[in-house]
Structure 1
Amino acid sequence: MTPTSDRRLIWGTALTQFIGWGTLFIPFSLVLQPMEADLGWSRWELTGALTVGLLTSGILGIPVGRWVDRRGGRAPLTYGALLGAAALAAWAAVDSLWVFYLIWIVMGCAHATALWIPAMAVVVALARQPTKAIAGITFITGFTGTVFIPVVAALVEGLGWRGALLALAALQLLPAVIAWAQFRGVPPPTPPTAIAKGDALRLAMRRPAFWGLALCFAAHVFIGVGLGSHLVPLLREHGLPETSVLLIVALHGPTQVAARAMLYFAGNRASMRLVGMFSAPLLVVALLWLAVAPPTFVWLLPFVACWAVADGLMTIVRAAGTAEILGRDGYGAITGALTLIGVLPRTAAPFVLALAWEAAGGYGPVPWLLAAVAALGAAAFVLAARDRGPAPA
């Protein structure tokens, strides 16, 4: 690989992920209410399909990761993108609830094969500077919501939810073309003996670092999904004006992108251990500030700044830090296992926080609960960062 091919890898991977997340994940929340009105299904019935899709994706993480470790990423990234396009087209025609659930099982397969795990496994295997490459990719994909939320909303408004999904299905064909062309002529990897025997994941799971990372990343995804689903009503309950609420939420994206940009320019000079030991406690600080700050826009700015920086950096630590701490051998299977462990926290977070809200009669204890989860995740990352050797045979 050369620096030029690293740039090609960054741009090719970033485009497949930018479009893939924009078409396969973001539309769900934007077509939810139109589907309710059109089909008469309840919100619980609809969101249950999303949960099934997330569970399917998590379960497939390990076998897909092993495939990439042994045979490369061209097939899963290409055919996964095509599968996603087919699922979107089927979704546009759905009129039966049980079929909708089947479609989301297929969509979960597309998520597992076309999105984050195989893409990052390819980058870690091929890039000369994987940390810089991952930072560059996440910098670009950080704008996915900024671009696709208004685009999908406009498509739903102009074409209806079925027409919007058909348009997105056509767009989702582009990542398949990019992935097929990007890895044309690239030979599959020659896996080390441990990978060939399927031992890389087993050896990694013997190390305290694996379980430290698993707990840290599970805490991170619980907080991210929980805040994503409850931050707006939490701020409204505090009595902030609507413009302040929306601006605080909107500041998260640009701030995390700026943090990723700084890490990109730092390149391989940045140790992922040190970045994680900075960003994981910073998330604790952010949530404690949310718990005690007066409910005014100015006083909540430090919260959103610390939260966004920590969130932006931890996304990179999740990908590049796993390679730095656990090694590149068997990276796909290892990250698949880490993702599988995080599936339950990811799917449970909105419900757990809703139960806390209902039990307390308000959002008062929620920031404290999230801060405790963040503190547990930070301690777990310290455990992982201090483990510098493989498990004994």
Structure 2
Amino acid sequence: MPLWIIICGLGLTQIIGWGTTYYMLGALSQDIATSTGWSGTLIFGAFSAALLLSGLISRRGGRLIDRIGGRRVMIAGSLCATAGLAVMGLFPHPATYVAGWLLLGLAMRFATYDAAFASLTQIVGQGARRAISFLTLFGGLASTVFWPVSHYLALSIGWSHTLLVYAALNLFVCLPIHWLVLHAARGDRAAESVAETAAPNLAGRGRLVAITLFASALALNGLVFSSISAHAVPLFQGLGFRGDEAVFMAALIGPSQVASRLGEIVMGRHLTAMHLGLIAFGLLPVAVGMFAMLGFSWSAAIVFAVLYGASNGLVTIAKGAVPLMLFGTKGYGEVLGVISAPNLILNAAAPLLFALLLEVVTPQASLLIAGAAAFASTLFMVWLARLHPHKA
């Protein structure tokens, strides 16, 4: 099957997969609270539990992909998404709501980026970086598509029926696509077939150090991004912007992610994966620093939103490309799982932690503290690059 068909098929499943799991609550939470009377703690706590579960099973999920192949695992992810959404939609009760989100936690691990990156690597081998870049371009559209779709569906048919529509999308669109386009994603056999073309891989202590450094960089970067993204509108309002201005600033983030990924597709061949990682992680502290140095003004806020979105867009690609360059294709799924676990666990706690921080200090100070964490993530990436100058 031509690679472009595989990428387009997986791209569609990523839009649906992210849009019906990770992003759907942002548009439906108010409707859920209004119609059920449930507390925000329950509504968002179940989501955090799903992210936590994704982090806890991350390594085992990656090892499973290495062993049995991305095709079977991503099909299982589509089934988990279908079951979780159907349970919440058919039986709206706090217990089933939490159970449904735990199923979605499995789905987010088995059917989104980490599983898709590993599946592409099993098909393409060491040269999967460009395919990963194209795939993230699709995924970046998930919030742009599903936030308005979720909003209008909820107005028309209610939140519970909206979830049933999303369950059907996962069952009748994503699952067949995974079955059709991932024939070659068969686990260890695929890794062995490209072994002779793979670059020498790190082993022993060097491998452990590299994984630790990159996982630390990714976790701190994700902590900052998840914290700010969850509080983007109230954070901008706390900095003195009007409500419509705050919404406009937050809306710039998504297009900036997509634009940065387009730029990587066009210019990425001139960058090694390590260079890409340095740029991706480095943009985030630069964004916060420029925002602060320019006095948190209107123009500074635009610069911040654009650089902030661009950083996240490129970090997603670097997350797949840097481990592939350092460790090769064999065991790639497990490596991604190990690297992603701290990031997912911190993502689960990030919104609550940042909310507590905003209660203790000013929005300006909160943003500067986040910038310090972003700077630390960049230092870990610089450390990794210095240990492997031949890769840069």
Task: Answer yes or no: same fold by TM over 0.5.
Answer: yes
Corresponding residue number in structure 2 for 1:131: 129
Equivalent positions of 1:354-373 (< 5 A) are 354-360=355-361, 362-373=362-373
Structure 1 residue ranges, 4+ long, deviating more than 6 angstroms after superposition: none
- SS state of the match for residue 239, structure 1? coil
Counterpart CA distance in 1 for 2:309 and 2:39 is 33
> Aligned partners of 1:8, 1:227: CA distance in 2, in Å?
35
> Paired residue for 2:213?
212
Corresponding residue number in structure 2 for 1:63: 60
Q: Take 1:11 and 1:203, find their aligned partners in 2: how far apart are those partners?
A: 37
CA contact (8 A) 1:205 1:211 kept: no
- Asked whether 1:381 is paired with 2:381, we answer yes
Show the 5 A alignment for 1:218-229.
218-229=219-230
Unaligned segments of structure 2, at least 5 residues: 196-200
2:184 equivalent to 1:182: no
**Deviation, structure 1 residue 69:** 1.2
Residue 41 in structure 1 maps to residue 38 in structure 2: yes
1:275 matched to 2:272? The reply is no
Partner of 2:139: 141
1:296-307, aligned counterparts within 5 Å? Answer: 296-307=297-308
Q: 1:333 and 1:187, CA in 2 relative to 1: closer, same or farther beyond 3 A?
A: closer
Shift of 1:236: 0.9
Partner deviation per Cα, 1:221-247 (whole Å, 9 max, x = no partner): 101111111221121122223332222
- In structure 1, runs of 5+ residues without a counterpart are none
Q: Once the two structures are superposed, what CA deviation does each residue of 1:154-190 show, in whole Å capped at 9, x if it has no partner?
A: 1000001111111111111211010001123665442
1:320 aligns with 2:303: no
What secondary structure sits across from 2:231 in the alignment?
A: helix
Give 1:101's match in structure 2, choosing from 98, 103, 106.
Answer: 98
- In 2, the alpha carbon distance for the partners of 1:95 and 1:307 equals 37
Q: Counterpart amino acid of 1:34?
A: D
Residues 322-337 of structure 1 aligned to structure 2 (within 5 Å): 322-337=323-338
Task: State the partner residue of 1:19.
Answer: 16
Q: Does structure 2 retain, via aligned residues, the 8 Å contact 1:83–1:107?
A: yes
| Structure-1 separation of matches of 2:31 and 2:352 | 23
SS of the residue corresponding to residue 184 of structure 1 reads coil
CA distance in 1, matches of 2:188, 2:230: 40
Distance of 2:184 and 2:379 partners within structure 1: 44
Question: Are residues 324 and 142 of structure 1, via their aligned partners in 2, closer, same or farther at CA, if it must alter by over 3 Å?
Answer: same
How big is each residue's C-alpha offset from its partner over 1:23-67, in whole Å with a ceiling of 9 and x where there is no partner? 122222222222222222211022121111111111221122112
SS in 2 for 1:294: coil
**Alignment-mate amino acid for residue 341 of structure 1:** P
Deviation at 1:210, TM superposition (A): 0.8
Once the two structures are superposed, the pairs formed by residues 240-279 of structure 1 within 5 Å of their partners are: 240-279=241-280
Alignment CA distance shift 1:186-1:354 (3 Å): closer
Structure 2 distance, partners of 1:45, 1:187, is 39
Greater Cα offset, 153-162 or 315-324: 315-324
> Among 166, 169, 189, which residue is 1:168 paired with?
166
1:127 is paired with a residue whose SS is helix
Distance in 2 of aligned mates of 1:139 and 1:209:
27
Structure 2 CA distance for aligned equivalents of residues 58 and 223 of structure 1: 17
Residue number in structure 2 paired with 1:117: 114
> Matched residues in 2 for 1:299 and 1:340: separation?
34
Give the direction of change, closer, same or farther, for the CA distance of 1:388–1:327 in structure 2 (3 Å limit).
Answer: farther
CA contact (8 A) 2:114 2:333 kept: yes
Contact residue 89 and residue 163 of structure 2 kept, 8 A: yes
The 2-side partners of 1:118 and 1:162 are apart by 28
Q: Is the 8 A contact 1:201 1:334 kept in 2?
A: no
Amino acid in structure 1 at the alignment position of 2:69: G
Question: 2:69: which partner in 1?
Answer: 72
The amino acid of 1:101's aligned partner reads V
Distance 2:73 2:210 in 1: 28
Partner amino acid for 2:336? T
For residue 84 of structure 1, the aligned residue among 81, 84, 89 is: 81
Shift of 1:104: 1.7
- In the superposition, the TM-score normalised over structure 2's length comes to 0.90
Q: 1:164, 1:224 → 2: CA distance? A: 28
- The percentage of counterpart residues that share the same residue type is 28
